A and B are shown apart, each in its own frame.
Chain A
Amino acid sequence: MGAECIISGIRPEIAQTVVHLGIDLSGITTKASLASALQTAFEMLQLAVVKRKKIVE
């Protein structure tokens, strides 16, 4: 439906199980942490979080 999916925070045991079950996750973006997944999502949407500059009077 035109949405991208990113999986994050997969535990090492789960990664092992996924591979042993023969599940192919090569088409899905997987990231180590929620932070890096969010960063990737922002990059996909070409968004950036920047610190607002203080207004000098």
Chain B
Amino acid sequence: MERIPILKMGDFLLVTIQVDLYDQLAENLESDLINTISKHSSKGVLIDISAVSIIDSFMGRILGNIAVMSRILDAQTVVVGMQPAVAITLVELGLSLNGVISALNVEKGMDLLRSKMQTSDNEEPEYDDDNE
């Protein structure tokens, strides 16, 4: 069965969708991705949809679902490389994709994920060494 590869890059997962998605493939991707996040306890997911030229309401919903599920498993989702036509379609379909953060390209998406990681690291308290 055809599958979309999920690459592990440190704390992040990289998914590049190079083929047009059909429903079964998208559903498999959803469950594969969630299982992989859980397996590696990943902190972020980067989905590259630059090669996706057509998106329907089902695909939009899957993307939203992936983002919400990742959030539950403590991982941020960034969608990168969305084509203008796809963005127009998503808005016209009324899918606001809440919880999905977008970036223009993979590079910017990676920077975004890293900065998100850093801000969560900074929330940790700083230890005052009064004993010294």
Contact = CB atoms under 8 A, between A and B. Distances in A.
18 contacts: A10-B73, A12-B37, A12-B73, A15-B69, A16-B30, A19-B69, A19-B72, A25-B68, A26-B68, A26-B71, A30-B73, A30-B74, A31-B74, A32-B38, A32-B74, A43-B124, A46-B125, A48-B125
Contacts, number: 52
B71 A16 contact: no
A43 B75 CA distance: 19
Nearest to B68: A19
A40 B34 CA distance: 22
Contacts of B72: 10, 15, 18-19, 25, 30
A43 B74 contact: no
B40 to A, nearest CB: 10
Interface string A13-51: 001101110000110001111001000000100101010
Interface residues of B, number: 21
B123 A19 contact: no
A24 to B, nearest CB: 9
Contacts of A43: 123-125
B126 to A, nearest CB: 9
A20 B62 CA distance: 10
A12 B72 CA distance: 9
B125 A11 contact: no
Contacts of A53: 131
B41 interface: yes
B34 A26 contact: no
A43 B65 CA distance: 29
